[in-house]
Structure 1
Amino acid sequence: MILEVNTPAFLFSTISLLMSAYAGRFSKISKIIRKLSVDIHNSNLVERHYLKEQISLFSKRIIYIRRLQLSGISSLFCSSLSMFFLLFERINFANIFFVLAIIFFLLCLLICLIEIYYSIRALELNLEL
């Protein structure tokens, strides 16, 4: 496999876009959780149960978004190390870190799918009410 310095750089733009989108989601979901936590105190028993379920789903989404960000950062880090080793013509190390970058990126996409599942579940719960 021939690896050039610009090959690992392809992951930069994709990971940057993912990180930006999920940082925004993280912020919005955090605000929603805070609002729902306040709303619980002013609600009846049925509404309280619904709000607790929503908070639970949003909390799971926050956990998956943090994991997504961690795997994205790991992918970016390994991609950077791969380019670093390519500059010093350490091809074996460059290949190892490029493979790790791709694995972390795939993990990032898998976590993204799981987070989307919980997002859909939260919407379904909202429609049930």
Structure 2
Amino acid sequence: MEISISTPAMLFPAISLLLLAFTQRFLALANLTRSFANDYEQENVMLQIQNFRKRIKLIREMQQAGVSSFFFCVVTMLMIYMGWSVIANWTFGISLLLLMFSLVLSIKEIHISMQALDVHLEQVLKDTKKKV
């Protein structure tokens, strides 16, 4: 398969938007973690802290995979420019695999964040029952 220089270039906006979304997730999680320190008396603290650690690790790996995908897109363009089409095809394939890995990690992080919301809602329900 012959790819042109515009093929990997089409991924630039997509990867950039993904990295922006991953960074926003990280910043939101960092703010949540900081505000969480005020509520350390709650009994679900250990569950939330474990959840935060898992999510932070996943977001870091998502960002690394996304940046690596972006890097391999640039390398692909360089290989095409130099006329090394076979190496360019393989490099582009690596870029796509890294992008898919980043997306899989994103799905996993979303699942873990839903678990965090469940833990929080359980605490809210317990607090509401105590007041009634």
TM-score by length of 2: 0.88
Deviations 1:58-108 (A, max 9, x none): 221111000000000010000110011101111111111100001101101
Aligned to 1:20: 20
Determine the C-alpha separation between the residues in 1 that align with 2:39 and 2:115. Answer: 20
Measure the CA separation in 1 of the matches of 2:50 and 2:30.
12
Unaligned runs of 5+ in 1: none
Instruction: Tell me which residue corresponds to 2:74.
Output: 80
In the alignment, is residue 60 of structure 1 matched against residue 60 of structure 2?
no
List gaps (5 residues or longer) in structure 2.
124-132
5 Å-filtered alignment, 1:4-15, equals: 4-15=4-15
Partners of 1:36 and 1:55 within 8 A in 2: no
Inter-partner Cα distance in structure 2 for 1:108 and 1:3: 23
Q: How far apart, CA to CA, are the structure 1 residues paired with 2:25 and 2:106?
A: 12
Query: How many aligned residue pairs are there?
Result: 123
| Counterpart for residue 117 of structure 1 | 111
Q: What RMSD, in angstroms, separates the aligned Cα atoms of the two structures?
A: 1.1
Residues in 2 aligned to 1:75 and 1:69: alpha-carbon distance in whole angstroms:
10
**Once the 2 structures are TM-superposed, how far is the Cα of residue 37 of structure 1 from its aligned partner?**
2.5
Identity of counterpart residues, as a percentage? 33
| Inter-CA distance 38–127: structure 2 relative to 1 (3 Å threshold) | closer
**Structure 1 position 99 matched with structure 2 position 127:** no
1:12 deviation in Å? 0.9
8 Å Cα contact 1:78/1:100 also seen in 2: yes
Structure 1 residue 25 displacement after superposition: 1.3
User: Hey, which bits of structure 1, 4+ residues long, moved more than 4 A?
Assistant: none
Checking the alignment, whether the CA contact within 8 Å between 2:8 and 2:77 is kept in structure 1 is yes
